Structure 1
Amino acid sequence: MSLPGRALYALYRVLAAGIAPVAYRRDADKLTSQGVPGDRLPERRGMPSGDRPAGRVIWVHAVSVGEAMSILPLAQRLSRDATVVLTTATATSARMVAARAPDLVHRFAPLDTGRAVRRFLDHWRPDLLVLTESELWPRQITEAHDRAIPVALVGARLSDRSLRRWQKLRPLARHMLERIGLILAQDERTALGLRHLGARDDRLRVIGALKTAADPLPVDTARLDEMRGALAGRPVWVAASTHPGEEVIAAEAHRALLNDRPDLLLILVPRHPERGDAIAAELQDRGFWVTQRSTAALPDARCQVYLADTLGELGLWFSRAPVAFVGGSFTDMGGHNPVEPAQLGCHAVTGPHITNAADIYAALVDQGAATVIDDPAQLPAAIAPFLDGDRAGAAELQAPDLDAVADELRALAAHPPETAPPVVLAPNFKRRLSGVTATVVRLVPLQARQIAIRATAPALPDHVPQIPLWRLPLLPRRVRRVWHARRNVEMIGGLALRHLLRKRMALLFTSASQRRHTGLTKWLIARMDAVVATSDKTAAYLDRPATVIRHGIDTDAFTPAPDRAALRHRLGLPDGLLIGCFGRIRSSKGTDLFVDAMLAVLPAHPDATALIMGRATEKDRAFLQDLKARVEAAGLSGRILFPPEVPVHEIADHYAALDLYVAPQRWEGFGLTPLEAMACGVPVIATTVGAFDELVVDGETGALVPPGEASVIADAVRTALSDRDRLAQLGAAARAHVRAHFTLQSEADALIAIYRDLLRRA
């Protein structure tokens, strides 16, 4: 964020917090006067109301009736596979949502302050935030983004006045727009304005107005028949969604129309029905006979203005009248929705201020379904031609594909924002390559497609999403995160972040060890919020329950070679049978057992070569030199090879070049090498240590042998090499077995499920 953006956002936070008590009291008084129960008022402060349901939750925010009604069809599509929490700020919109979409959860929107928004997010933990039309709230957007909750703005529309206002606050607008992952604009004018404010082209496109995709307003046929009876054939017109000043404009236009049609009735529908008594008094002072719908009275022969100060009946009035003036257009409100009358065959007349629906009006004017006038004095002449003719048919408007939009939003919900701070941290506090490092390097990029995870380490490849260690103390304290440790030092780091720096950190530990833990390790594990074991054997060594999640393999990266001979030629490896043993060169890994087995087998198989590839640490250098000396003494230096260790991204090719892989370990925590080989279509002979007997199916994907016996390994290799066709069948079965049970994606998904569970324990 730019410095002006930071400064304006900081200023906004201070101002919002300062006016919040006054705004809450004002809203509480207003909602109470409109009949909202007292126990729902704290929702405006973000207080929980009702339990969070299981599964995905989508937060859809619309401020008032117009926005709520336009988003309902899309929200109902989203609710097919998620719980939709629809927030609004007015009592009128709350009642409309309850009446028209009882399947959605309605709550009053939290005020845009830190405390209110955080309370709301802590309780509902939404997977997606969908803002509607012009609802751009800095705190909502920022807090959601900081929790890696994707944000979308759907049906975006900004009036000229709004665009001018945001232009003056352009750094703050950019701050918000940078955090919105998808913007679906109503028209090109809005899209252009948002681009100018800082919206990215690759996140922005025009879909048209959501209003055009809404279902026609409901019409109560019984009440329609009742009105027809009361009117007894009288001509009628409607003034709908009027604002202060427009009721008088409509009434004076009606006075002019009465000169030619003394029995004409005006049905006046104010935007805010609670103004009904004041409007009635003002019109009566002007000499009109007014009947209020809220009194349950019907218009009689004397009634000149029927004041429809009720909710949910616009469909009734539009279906009865041939023409309607649509308000908000002689004030600087930007106009209201002309689709509602047009869908019911009612001609729409509007004033000049229609930036909220300019494209829609243009389409309706082209069809002869709407009229735009410049001055209130033109209203009687615009209404009169439609009073004596037949009602028009429903207008046809191009509507956005809401099913496609819903699918796009679901896809967005599945992917964290690129720029979001991490909600999961995967530390790797060891510089040198190890099995843990390899796991982090392979898992984190895959998991980052579904959740905001970053590795943090002194040295990792550039393609791994990561955050520098020095930034950890600077992460916001209030956002809940998961710290996924795999070593003692990393558990200590997580505890320090939680207890010394007061970070809101859930601690997860993955154990691969198959031995009794030290007192320190037990103490650390006891303080974790959850524990994962990489095998059933590993879980048995823990003193607390653990979820078993076995390691997986990227079966796209580790895959059989389409042309093994060509691959060997490229790698500089010999032809014939190739038997491999990869990984650390040390006694615990059984490298000497593999050498002894090869010394016994290779003389009878002159076309076979053994490949020992890995790294010996300083303390194992003498061990390696002894192995090389034994090979040389046996005269097999050209057939038992010790090539240098290759980079991680090249290792898959060396597996794919093999005909047989041997894992001769004396001890192992889990051991990925058999899976890596099998994923490349290579059968495996493994000792029954670590998780090997949970990975290799004896007689189907290779063979299992007891640890510590070179002669047994040699016998298993001889058996495998005796039948080349059988060897190929075992390799194909090994590949299929890994794809069915040990994919990296399945490991990533299982861990993400635990991350999400920990994040939800607010």
Structure 2
Amino acid sequence: MARFLYSLVFILCLPLILARLLYRAWRAPAYARRWPERFAVGGDLRPGGIWVHAVSVGESIAAAPMVRALLRRYPQLPVTVTCMTPTGSEQIRKLFGEQVGHAYLPYDLPWLQRRLIRRLQPRIAIIMETELWPNMVAECGRAGVPVVLANGRLSERSARGYQRVSWLVRPMFAALDWLAVQSAPEAERFMALGAQQHALTVTGSIKFDLKPSAAVLQGAAGWRNQWGGRSVWIAASTHAGEDEVVLQAHRQLLAQHPQALLILVPRHPERFDGVARLVQQAGLSLVRRSAGVQPGMSDQVLLGDSMGELMQFYACADVAFVGGSLIPGGGHNYLEPAALGLPVLSGPHRFNFLEISDLLENAGALVEIADADALAAQVGRWLDDSASARAAGEAGQAVVKANQGALERLLEGIGRLL
């Protein structure tokens, strides 16, 4: 009955969902493409193998080591990766090319999920982090497809949201065949929502198993050589409301470090042009990565308006600020800069990565700031004191290395279900 009511509400809301899709297509034309896939028609599906679902860019990047390992371990099994957003789709193709099949996940209506599963005939479904849909999970159960939640995370805020619809989600969580979750507190939250204790393992976060590729490090070194010996800091995955704070901080920083370069990487591509205008309005000289030219000594901001290059941008920097944290967004992946040995800055809103950010903060690798003044001051301190910055960066790398191994534990669990 709960899923019936949920599906009925979904159907009633479908005109609004399509209207929102049209609006997003107006803002970002990529949303206007491949609509049939959202109704389980078309797409590059590879039947009879492993199905991985990663909602967008962050989850696709997190899934990459797992997908590559699965391709190596089970070369006889095709892999299909689904997502929900054009940026996620672009990231998947950039990461894997034609090694994997790829399509958008259809809307969560029973007959659409049933059609996708019938076409895909997966031996296992692996869902990254928290992208759970009641009908998707139920239809996998109906078809006898085991469902794994990989790298599961559940913040207190998200858990409270799920509790408000516990009548709907408790059967969904109880139906999962295995949950590989990041931490003990998150395991408790999952169990409070109906997950079975015997089907749950604390594996740690596979994001700790991140290893920057030699190509990324080499590319970043080439860029830095072209930029001269100037100081570089990055503000990555920023959201609306944060760019203004970052630019204000950079203006303050330039008073003490006139040759400092800011790499500004907005989280969403549809904001690239708007952020470029903000930079110009702030009176700062700008070069866009999409222009294909390197910043000169007179350029003060490099706008990272490209896809799939975030790690290379990080590898160019001396200090990193991770966005989504000055506004109530919950933060983004703090381990990417930490793995590269960068001292890390965050705003106060880091509830999506609370355990990870606390580990880094307690080790001295992360500093929390609340406004432009504090951001400029801490970036300036680390640029002035390279020994302190290096110690913070090394502490972050030590945290990353000490917590590695989650990927192997996850792969072992998946292997038992295949």
Same topology, TM > 0.5: yes
Taking structure 1 as reference, are residues 376 and 218 closer, same or farther at Cα in structure 2, changes over 3 Å only? farther
Equivalent in the alignment of 1:61: 53
**1:527-553 superposed Cα distances (whole Å, 9 cap, x missing partner):** xxxxxxxxxxxxxxxxxxxxxxxxxxx
Cα shift readout 1:151-207 (whole Å, capped 9, x = no counterpart): 111111122321111111112121211111111111222211111112111111211
Confirm or deny that 1:71 pairs with 2:63: yes
Confirm or deny: 8 A CA contact 2:203 2:409 kept in the other structure. Answer: no
Output the amino acid matched with 2:67. Answer: A
Contact 1:219 / 1:319 at 8 angstroms: preserved in 2? no
* SS across alignment from 1:259: helix
Which range is displaced more, 206-215 or 133-142? 206-215
Task: Report SS of the residue matched to 2:331.
Answer: coil
Residue 156 in 1 paired to residue 152 in 2?
yes
Alignment match, 2:34: 40
Match for 1:144: what amino acid? C
Aligned partner of 1:648 in structure 2 is none
- Identify the structure with bigger relative contact order (alpha carbons < 8 Å, sequence gap 6+): 2
Once residues 295 and 134 of structure 1 are traced to their aligned partners in structure 2, the CA distance between those partners, rounded to angstroms, is: 36
- The letter of the residue matching 2:53 is H
* Corresponding position: 1:14 with 2:8: yes
* 3-state SS of paired residue (2:175): coil
Q: Which of 260, 270, 275 pairs up with 1:274? A: 270
Paired amino acid for 1:395: Q
CA distance in 1, matches of 2:31, 2:323: 30
**Higher alpha-carbon Rg:** 1
**TM-score for both structures, normalised by structure 1:** 0.50
Aligned-partner Cα distance in 2 for 1:180–1:74: 19
Note if contact 1:24-1:45 (Cα within 8 Å) is conserved in structure 2.
Answer: no
Cα separation, partners in 2 of 1:25 and 1:17, compared to 1, 3 Å: same
What is residue 138 of structure 1 aligned with on the other side? 134
User: Cα RMSD between the aligned structures?
Assistant: 2.4
2:124–2:147 CA contact under 8 A, matched in 1: yes
Please state which structure has a larger fraction of its residues in helix: 2
1:411 aligns with 2:416: yes
Q: Structure 1: how far apart are the matches of 2:225 and 2:123?
A: 51
Alpha-carbon spacing, 1:289–1:170, altered in 2? closer, same or farther (3 Å): same
SS at match of 1:141: helix
Kindly, what percent of the aligned residue pairs are identical?
35
| AA at the equivalent of 1:93 | G
Please state whether the residue corresponding to 1:359 is helix, strand or coil: helix
Answer yes or no: is 1:215 the counterpart of 2:220.
no
Give the secondary-structure state (helix, strand or coil) at the position aligned to 1:178. Answer: helix
Aligned twin of 1:378: 374
Q: 2 CA distance for matches of 1:39 and 1:267?
A: 30
- 1:205 counterpart letter in structure 2: T
Residue by residue over 1:101-141, the C-alpha shift from the partner in whole angstroms, topping out at 9 and shown as x without a partner, is 23222211111122321221110011211111111111111
Corresponding pairs, count:
405
Letter in 2 for 1:76: R
Q: Distance in 2 between matches of 1:189 and 1:218?
A: 35
Q: What is the Cα deviation at residue 35 of structure 1?
A: 6.3
In 2, the alpha carbon distance for the partners of 1:375 and 1:226 equals 33
Does 2:83 align with 1:88?
Answer: yes
CA contact (8 A) 1:235 1:264 kept: yes
Contact 1:159 1:334 in 2 (8 A): no
Q: 1:57 Cα deviation (Å)?
A: 1.5
State the distance in 1 between where 2:407 and 2:70 align.
Answer: 10
Contact 1:219–1:315 (Cα < 8 Å) also in 2: no
Aligned partner letter, 2:9: L
1:290 CA displacement: 2.2
User: Any residues of structure 2 matched to 1:528-677 within 5 Å, and which?
Assistant: none
Matches within 5 A, 1:177-576: 177-216=173-212, 219-220=215-216, 223-388=219-384, 389=386, 391=390, 392-393=393-394, 395-396=397-398, 397=400, 398-413=403-418
C-alpha displacement of 1:302: 2.7
Contact map agreement 2:46 2:79 (CA 8 A) in 1: no
Question: 1:374-427 CA distances to partner (integer Å, 9 max, x unpaired)?
Answer: 4454212221222141654470321234233223113224xxxxxxxxxxxxxx
Query: Are the equivalent residues in 2 in contact too, given 1:351–1:376 (CA < 8 A)?
Result: no
**By how many angstroms is 1:83 displaced?**
1.6
* AA at the equivalent of 2:412: D
Instruction: Give the TM-score taking structure 2 as reference length.
Output: 0.89
Letter of the 1:42 partner, please give it: P
In structure 2, C-alpha distance between the alignment counterparts of 1:219 and 1:243, rounded to whole Å: 28
Q: Distance in 1 between matches of 2:232 and 2:159?
A: 38
Q: 2:140 & 2:372 partners in 1: Cα distance?
A: 45
Contact in 1 for aligned 2:233/2:263 (Cα 8 Å) = yes
Distance in 2 between residues matched to 1:140 and 1:361, nearest whole Å: 32
Cα distance in 2 between the residues matched to 1:51 and 1:155: 24
Q: Distance in 2 between matches of 1:216 and 1:314?
A: 11
- Check whether the contact 2:245–2:371 (CA below 8 A) recurs between aligned residues: no
Aligned partner of residue 383 in structure 1, secondary structure: helix
In 1: Cα distance, 2:213 partner to 2:367 partner = 21
Does the 8 Å contact 2:24/2:31 carry over to 1? no
How far apart are residue 64 of structure 1 and its match? 0.6
Tell whether 2:97 aligns with 1:97.
no
Gaps of 5+ in 1: 1-5, 414-762
